[in-house]
Structure 1
Amino acid sequence: MITKKEQLTALVITYNEIGYIEKCIESVSFADEIIVVDSFSTDGTYEFLKSHPKVKVIQNPFENFTAQKSFALKQATNDWVLFLDADEIVSGSLQNEIIQTVSSDTEISAFWFYRQFMFKNEKLNFSGWQTDKNYRLFRKSKASFSDCKIVHETLDVDGTSGILKEKLTHYCYKNYEDYKSKMLKYGQLKAIESFYKEKKFSYVMMVLKTSWKFFNHYILRLGILDGKKGFIVCHLNSLGVLERYKELKKLEQKNELAYYLVMP
């Protein structure tokens, strides 16, 4: 058994994650501290977490992903942090690699994880996700979430980065409505991000970006080789892009209306 020289905190943010969160928490049970920040779930997620003997659960209103993850990061009492999404699972071999890393006196500040995407219980091998990687293990003292993005948040790292060999398992697709809802939510948050960056709505860009997303993931990134599940995922990903532009148009219209209402 490997003895850790430093303690490890596992962090997760949740909202209505029953069906995912149970396996996620089980997979990080090796951590010295498990903290979950829940944005007032209504499906039993909070009750499950509250009753779990190893979990400290805190409820905090959801503003955006960056704000919620920054809040969660402040709750960690240990410097080494393993930050997962509720639909991600750490395999036994990845657990060992994480423990070895935390125990190793490494000077690396943060580690990328490659992810194995799962469509229900089947592997999704292509569809644009084959090179996907995210920061998941890092030192709290050496990293912070960037204010530049409110969705698909970015970690700013002070120091060098490494990559772990073992993949993180990501159960991205539970069912059609769940994944569609997720993509629409991402699109809406991206619209807010674009609006505050003063990016303008364009019908041409809406059509081009939406079409390109599907073509890129389904044809160029070989989603076609994932069969029916590849088509579904690529279609819903492009739907998220369409939603971003539709929501951006709404935000611009609301802003124009507010401007004319305050005009003398």
Structure 2
Amino acid sequence: MNTIQKQQISVLIITFNEERFIKNLIDDIDFADEIIIVDSFSTDRTVEIIESFANVKLIQHKFTDYTSQRNFALEQAKNNWILFIDADERITPALKSEIDAVVNSDNSASAYLVYRTFMFKNRKLHFSGWQTDKIFRLFKKNDCFYSKDRMVHEKLIVNGNTAILKSKLIHYSYSNYEDYKLKMYNYGIFKANEKLKKRNHKSVFLLFLHPTYTFLYQFIIRFGFLDGAKGITICYLNAYSVYARYKEMNRIISSRI
């Protein structure tokens, strides 16, 4: 009689000051065969909370950029199947069941995209550009890696077939205005350095044109206006990230002259 061996899954998380989310996330991923958290020296209670879980391996590693941190985490995993999840994401029972079924299927793809439901202060955001948000979260380590060309909004390179899971992740990205604004600012700074690293120099004119376009596109074309005040806030802050990018690019270029 042939016995099919159940596939092992390594769950990877990168953290910095995630005390609000990390406990609930670790509780969510109790199905994992290995849990590795790579922390970039948090200054809040994140490490204390992580260390309260005996089944979690904690590694402290200096943060350079998001891609480097993810690839470092990948190197630590002992299993081929990887579930890479952010601290502000949650896995539903339906998604757990689907992940289990997929990794133990004979017809598995090399990587799976997962749709995300964006939560705005614990309430679902329906539009504002987030209605089609999906990201690679489940994949085979031997077939995938994160492209070093990006410092933020990481791109997974997949050597093999891809597919999409039916169940969604819950994404608690927006808890308050100031935290989300800081996140968008930091993304903008990383994106500026990424663009300059590729010698992608943009004109000063785009400092105002591109953020305006981003806001109008997400608010009108992507139906942000249907989200009311929430839509205005999200569309503005996403445009603010683009503004921060060009402002930083212009600052760096000016300092070199």
- In which range does the TM-score fall when normalised by the shorter chain? over 0.9
What is the aligned partner in structure 1 of residue 96 from structure 2? 95
Q: What corresponds to 2:221 in structure 1? A: 220
Contact 1:117-1:172 within 8 A present in 2 as well: yes
Rounded to whole Å, the distance in 2 between the matches of 1:211 and 1:79 is 43
Does 2:155 match 1:136?
A: no
* Matching residue of 1:204: 205
Deviations 1:203-238 (CA, angstroms, capped at 9, x unpaired): 211111100110011111011111111111111110
Q: CA RMSD in A?
A: 1.1
Q: Tell me what 1:254 maps to.
A: 255
Provide the C-alpha distance between the structure 2 equivalents of 1:231 and 1:26, rounded to a whole number of angstroms.
34
TM-score under structure 2 length normalisation: 0.96
Separation in 2, partners of 1:23, 1:178: 19
Partner of 1:58: 59
Structure 1 residue runs of 4+, over 3 Å off? none
Distance in 2, Cα, partners of 1:31 & 1:62: 25
Any idea what SS the aligned residue of 2:73 has? helix
Q: After superposition, where does 1:79-94 map in structure 2 within 5 Å?
A: 79-94=80-95
Instruction: Name structure 1 gaps, 5 residues minimum.
Output: 257-264
Offset, 1:159? 0.4
- Distance in 1 (CA, whole Å) between partners of 2:255 and 2:64 is 20
Query: For 1:13 and 1:205, how far apart are their aligned partners in 2?
Result: 33
CA contact (8 A) 2:102 2:108 kept: no
Q: How many angstroms apart in 2 are the aligned matches of 1:16 and 1:4?
A: 38
1:201 Cα deviation from its structure 2 partner = 3.7
Offset at residue 140 of structure 1 (A): 0.2
Unpaired segments of 5 or more residues in structure 2? none
2:197 aligned with 1:192: no
2: CA distance, partners of 1:186 / 1:234 = 15
Whole-Å separation in 1 of the counterparts to 2:136 and 2:129: 18
Look up the match of 2:46.
Answer: 45
What is the deviation of 1:106? 2.6
Aligned mates of 1:102, 1:31 — CA distance in 2 = 12
Tell whether the 8 Å contact from 2:204 to 2:250 is kept in structure 1 after alignment.
Answer: no
| Cα distance between partner residues in 1 of 2:11 and 2:226 | 35
CA distance in 1 between counterparts of 2:39 and 2:5 reads 28
Equivalence for 1:145? 146
TM-score norm. by structure 1 comes to 0.94
Aligned to 1:262: none
Alpha-carbon separation, structure 1, partners of 2:5 and 2:70: 25
| 2:177 partner letter | Y
Amino acid at match of 2:92: S
Q: What is the 5 A alignment of 1:176-191?
A: 176-191=177-192
**Could you tell me how far apart the structure 1 residues matched to 2:251 and 2:31 are?**
46
Can you list the C-alpha shifts for 1:77-113, whole angstroms capped at 9, x where unaligned? 1000000111111101100000111111234100000
| Cα shift readout 1:112-168 (whole Å, capped 9, x = no counterpart) | 001100001100010001111100000000000001111000000010001000001
Partner-residue secondary structure (3-state), 1:98: helix
The Cα of 1:55 is off from its aligned counterpart by: 1.0
Q: CA deviation at 1:4?
A: 6.8
Q: Say whether residues 1:154 and 2:155 are aligned partners.
A: yes
Q: Do the aligned residues in 2 keep the contact of 1:4 with 1:99 (CA within 8 Å)?
A: no
